[in-house]
Amino acid sequence: MFFSVCSSFAQTEVEMADGMRANGKIYVVVAVLAVIFFGLFIFLINLDRKISRLEREKGKQ
């Protein structure tokens, strides 16, 4: 029974995504997500550099 319910949900169309794609708003959503992921990526790189610097400084002492 669970699989029949899951398959029935999988066959329905996603109206929100279709509506956003038709209005061109999907590109705004994709752009915002890309900016968020890019910012997170830059943050993690900077954090890794700071941690590496602290580890080197601690190793010298």
43-56: pLDDT as tens digits = 999 999 999 999 99
pLDDT recorded at residue 8:
62
- Residues 34 and 40: their CA atoms lie apart, in Å, by 10
- Residues 53 and 60: their CA atoms lie apart, in Å, by 11
- Residues 16 and 1: their CA atoms lie apart, in Å, by 27
- Tell me: the pLDDT tens digits for 8-35? 666 677 777 788 778 888 899 999 999 9
In the numeric block, which tokens belong to residue 48? 């890794």
